[in-house]
Structure 1
Amino acid sequence: MTDISVWNTPYQVEDRSWLLSPHGTDPGTTPSIVLDVSAFTANVHYPNGYIPSGTNLAKFTASGLYGPYTVSNEVQTITEGGSGLTSFTLTWNGQTTASLDDQATAAEIKAALEALSNIPAGAMTVTGNPGGVYTVTFGGALAGTDVAQMTATPTGGTGTVTIATTTAGGTEGSGGLEVCAGHLFAATKVPNVADTTKDVGAALFVHGFVKLSKLPFGLNANGQADCKLIHYVP
């Protein structure tokens, strides 16, 4: 007997807030491409089964398929040491935060850094327990960028605050993935998340106006320079 009961199927809600104008979206202006699904990471690029529109793409030189434009975000750590530390400040690119308690939360560290006029809002995440070690990951407008290392000035006793860069930003992929070719025009469903050998067709956005802060993955200056027909707005 045929089962004709009601089935509920989830659909992806398209988010093209990164697209600032219809320029470059007319029929025939978004080339058809094929995505190499195996080049994408499930928990990063398609946690809900869809690769989001606006994803930065690059073309494999050998296969002609497309994968994610790959850059590393800078990661720096803040480690407290010594004894008697009561507070400290952080300095980045010549600007210094307000004083931070030695037991500051990660949220307080983030707020103090983003209060600096030279750090864009949403350009970092901070994790860690009060007293550290804190991990600062640069993203957003600073994604994929080799940023300056912070410095710290401790106060109290013989306390120390050490900054270390654990991942340098701007390290790019290879085999073609180091050159940004454009952006995924429409959210694309991965056919079978359990079998990433199955490639999938898609469309590539290659010219027009894009809002950087709305892209699902940050794009560094090199990637922007690669896309010569796209005008990027912060």
Structure 2
Amino acid sequence: MNDFQPMTVLQETATADRPWLASLVGTHDANTITLDLTKFVAGVHYEPGTPYQPRNVLKSGLPLGLNDTSGLYEPYAGPTSEVQTVTVTGTPTGGTYTLTFSGQTTAGIAYNATAAQVKTALEALSNINPGDVVVSGGPHPGTPVVIAFAGQYLGEDVGQMTASATNLTGGTTPAVTVATTTAGGGASASNGTEKLAGFLATESLFAPGSTKTSGALLWHGEVFAAKCPIPFDPDDVAATRPGVTIHYR
């Protein structure tokens, strides 16, 4: 099922409700494109419809890439962000452990810490700001904690953390290990979407169940990268499509 809406951008002189758009003269260079809706995720790339407004709404400002095989636009698949997993073994019954990242060591983290507690300990370091890590999984010791680097480390190949289990107690030889489950920095696709093609210039509505829809692509202009609807770091853009000229603030 396809859902194509007529879209022609002739002239626009305001940024409207698009805080990501830095150009005060608006989207003066936008092309009509076709989007592959099967690649977009509800709650991340679009807001699901409601009984009062049943169409889904793709967020304006989404970074996009062009799939060279299908010829359709998809979410930009820039460099992969680092993911590391912290595992507590030996069934400890008390005590704490520490994590060290780039020379900075956390305060003691409880043997049975939740993901939120690990996140708090990491964000207390001088080299990790709020939003630099997304922590899931847990709680210890039964379930590993998964740490995805974001913020200033989005798309970066960061050094692997080290751990100290010296203060864990009980159990049988308790220990903590850190493993890099996804190395950061490498392109997360090889189908063309790893090259930035531009940004979705305006919100685009589509009916639930649709697989394709039209949109407007901003391929020449200025963007506030930090205000895009999903995390985007212009420093990590290794390549753009030919002719794309985007400036960042």
Aligned to 1:38: 38
Q: Deviations over 1:145-187 (max 9, x none)?
A: 3322211111235321111122233442122101012221222
Q: 1:81 aligns with which of 71, 81, 89?
A: 89
Q: Which amino acid in 1 is paired with 2:81?
A: N
In the superposition, the TM-score normalised over structure 1's length comes to 0.77
Following the alignment from structure 1 to structure 2, what is the Cα–Cα distance between the partners of residues 120 and 97? Answer: 13
Q: 1:136 aligns with which of 123, 141, 147?
A: 147
Structure 2 stretches of 5 or more lacking a match? 1-15, 49-55
- State the shift of 1:108 in Å: 1.7
- State the shift of 1:59 in Å: 1.6
Aligned to 2:213: 199
Aligned to 1:25: 26
Verify the 8 A CA contact 2:202 2:215 in the aligned structure 1.
Answer: no
Following the alignment from structure 1 to structure 2, what is the Cα–Cα distance between the partners of residues 104 and 112? Answer: 10
1:215 pairs with 2:235:
no
1:177 pairs with 2:193:
yes
Following the alignment from structure 1 to structure 2, what is the Cα–Cα distance between the partners of residues 99 and 133? Answer: 17
- State the shift of 1:230 in Å: 3.2
Q: Which moved more, 1:124-133 or 1:101-110?
A: 124-133
Q: Which amino acid in 1 is paired with 2:197?
A: A
- State the shift of 1:224 in Å: 6.8
Structure 1 stretches of 5 or more lacking a match? 1-13
SS of equivalent to 1:180: coil
Q: Which amino acid in 2 is paired with 1:172?
A: S
Where has structure 1 moved over 3 Å in runs of 4 or more?
A: 41-44, 224-233
1:125 pairs with 2:134:
yes
Aligned to 1:91: 100
Following the alignment from structure 1 to structure 2, what is the Cα–Cα distance between the partners of residues 108 and 58? Answer: 36
Following the alignment from structure 2 to structure 1, what is the Cα–Cα distance between the partners of residues 95 and 220? Answer: 52
Following the alignment from structure 1 to structure 2, what is the Cα–Cα distance between the partners of residues 225 and 118? Answer: 28
- State the shift of 1:69 in Å: 0.8
- State the shift of 1:40 in Å: 2.4
Q: Which moved more, 1:28-37 or 1:90-99?
A: 28-37
Structure 1 vs Structure 2: percent identity of aligned residues?
Answer: 41
- State the shift of 1:83 in Å: 5.5
